């Protein structure tokens, strides 16, 4: 625990980070930028896990473990996303979101 900082401030930070990620996800037009925004969201979640563990349940290891797993899964997912982006780029030669609307009306 950090002396002088309550849990509320930390949670505020993580919330703000999460919503910055959400803003990026629904605003950006490039797939890779969307990926970056998703990473920010995930990191905000990890922050949440870690600090609640630290402040409210300091003797349990669960928070850190879950954080580790989240990081591992995020890595796997990023790898797959990059593979998809590369394949898609080979097909339609673009990574802009508005070029990928085949499932439209």
Of residues 39-98, those binding another protein (CB under 8 A): 39-40, 43, 46-47, 50-51, 53-56, 58-59, 61, 64-65, 67-69, 71-80, 82-87, 89-90, 95-98
Asked if 11 touches another protein (CB under 8 A), the answer is: yes
| Closest distance of CB 88 from another protein, Å | 9
Asked if 36 touches another protein (CB under 8 A), the answer is: yes
Backbone angles phi, psi at 94, to 5 degrees: -155, 150
Three-state DSSP state, 29 = coil
Asked if 37 touches another protein (CB under 8 A), the answer is: yes
The CA distance from 85 to 78, in Å, is 10
Alpha helices in 5-61 (DSSP H): 7-27, 31-56
């Amino acid at each position: 625990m950090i002396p002088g900082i309550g849990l509320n401030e930390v949670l505020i930070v993580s919330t703000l980070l999460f919503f910055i990620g959400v803003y990026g996800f629904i605003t950006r037009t490039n797939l890779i930028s969307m990926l970056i925004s998703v990473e920010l969201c995930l990191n905000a979640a990890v922050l949440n896990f870690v600090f609640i563990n630290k402040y409210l349940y300091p003797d349990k290891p669960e928070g850190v473990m879950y954080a580790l797993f989240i990081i591992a899964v995020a890595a796997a997912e990023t790898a797959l996303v990059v593979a998809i982006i590369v394949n898609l780029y080979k097909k339609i030669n673009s990574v802009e979101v508005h070029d990928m609307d085949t499932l439209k009306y």
